[in-house]
């Protein structure tokens, strides 16, 4: 069983839509949760970081963690064509090792 499950998409939405990206995980020891964005032919870059359960907002982006359900989400409001990328969730129990999802490819159409 994979440590982290993520729907690969692709997800295609019109500009201005609200986007919801999700991951589930199996290891209850995970307490650090990250979202990375990866553009084509580039390495991933950190978008959001959350510790334990709860919500975190940064501009148009909101990260949610529900540890009881082992479920994390990233919401993008007012999506823009420049948001078109692959979004990877990542998580860790103790910062020694990190476990990444396979990524969801998002396409925002103008």
> d(Cα 109, Cα 70) in Å, to the nearest integer?
31
Binding interface with other proteins (CB under 8 A): 2, 4, 6, 8, 32, 34, 41-46, 49, 88, 90, 92, 95, 97-103
Considering beta carbons, is residue 61 or 99 the nearer one to other proteins? 99
Considering beta carbons, is residue 34 or 65 the nearer one to other proteins? 34
CB of 3 to other proteins, least distance (A): 8
> d(Cα 101, Cα 108) in Å, to the nearest integer?
21
Residue 35 token pair = 């979202």
Considering beta carbons, is residue 34 or 85 the nearer one to other proteins? 34
Strand arrangement of the beta sheet that strand 4-6 belongs to:
4-6, 19-25, 71-76, 61-66, 54-58
CB of 33 to other proteins, least distance (A): 9
């Amino acid at each position: 069983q994979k440590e982290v499950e993520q729907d690969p998409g692709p997800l295609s939405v019109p500009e201005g839509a609200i986007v919801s990206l999700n991951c589930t995980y199996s290891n209850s020891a995970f307490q650090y949760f990250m979202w990375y964005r990866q553009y084509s032919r580039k390495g991933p870059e950190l978008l959001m970081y959350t510790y334990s359960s709860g919500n975190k907002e940064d501009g148009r982006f909101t990260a949610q963690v529900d540890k009881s359900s082992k479920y994390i989400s990233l919401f993008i409001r007012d999506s823009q064509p420049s948001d078109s990328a692959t979004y990877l969730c990542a998580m860790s129990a103790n910062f020694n090792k990190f476990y990444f999802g396979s990524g969801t490819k998002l396409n925002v159409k103008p």
